[in-house]
Amino acid sequence: MEIFLDTANTNEISEILEWGIIKGITTNQKIFLKEKGCNFEEQSKKILKMVEPHPVSLEGPNNLDELLEEAKKYYKWGKNVVIKVPMLADGSGLKAVKILESKGIKTNVTAMMSVNQAMLAIAAGASYASLFFNRIRDSGSDPVDVVKKSRAIIDCGGFKTKLIVGSIRNPSDVVEIASANPHIITIPYNILKQMPYHERTVSTLDEFEKAWDEFKKVEKQC
């Protein structure tokens, strides 16, 4: 299972890259809005270069023709570009997947809430399929069940699609998602920063440190 970072902030990316744990970046319009008016193209190119060769998912318009046009432009920004394609209600997102993948442009079908949607994205040949964990729960479905069944479709059918799960609101979500065995969990910076901490670990290390200090006071010199 791989970990992606869900952000468009270069400082956050730089910090977490040093942890040596992330294998890709996911972004969306709301994430870019947090960057307070940055230039989308400039920021995207910076991110692509920072994490190369790992994939970076960039989101475009929700209109098929506009999406295809933007995808061609994004694709020139870096070899690790992945185009986010919305799961549009009229099925046109699936058409976009077919067109882009046939041109060698990787796609990530996004904003999916059901096994039916995931099945279609997988069958269409998407490189990635993104399920929105807490938004699935908000809609009244069991997100763990949706993830497990979607992963089973990929495994049983021998499909190439990698399943990404996002929409994470607290560290306990990560545990639930991991138990459902997706290929990738994409985690926001503020959640990832909480994950190394456990109060009992802190107190244990403090105890060991004090014991070491006491040992050094009475240590016999060779």
Q: Which residues form the catalytic set?
A: 84
* Tokens 């059918």, residue located: 157
CA 165, CA 82: separation in Å to the nearest integer?
Answer: 16
CA 52, CA 211: separation in Å to the nearest integer?
Answer: 44
In 3D, which of 169, 164, 174 has the Cα closest to residue 82? 164
Identify the three-state secondary structure at position 150: helix
C-alpha distances out from residue 49 to 9, 46, 80, 189, 208, Å: 13, 5, 9, 19, 42
Residues 6 or more apart whose Cβ sits within 8 Å of residue 158: none
CA 136, CA 146: separation in Å to the nearest integer?
Answer: 8
List the beta bridge partners of residue 110: 86
CA 195, CA 193: separation in Å to the nearest integer?
Answer: 6
184-188 and 81-86 beta bridge pairing = unpaired
CA 4, CA 56: separation in Å to the nearest integer?
Answer: 9
In 3D, which of 29, 5, 44 has the Cα closest to residue 193? 5
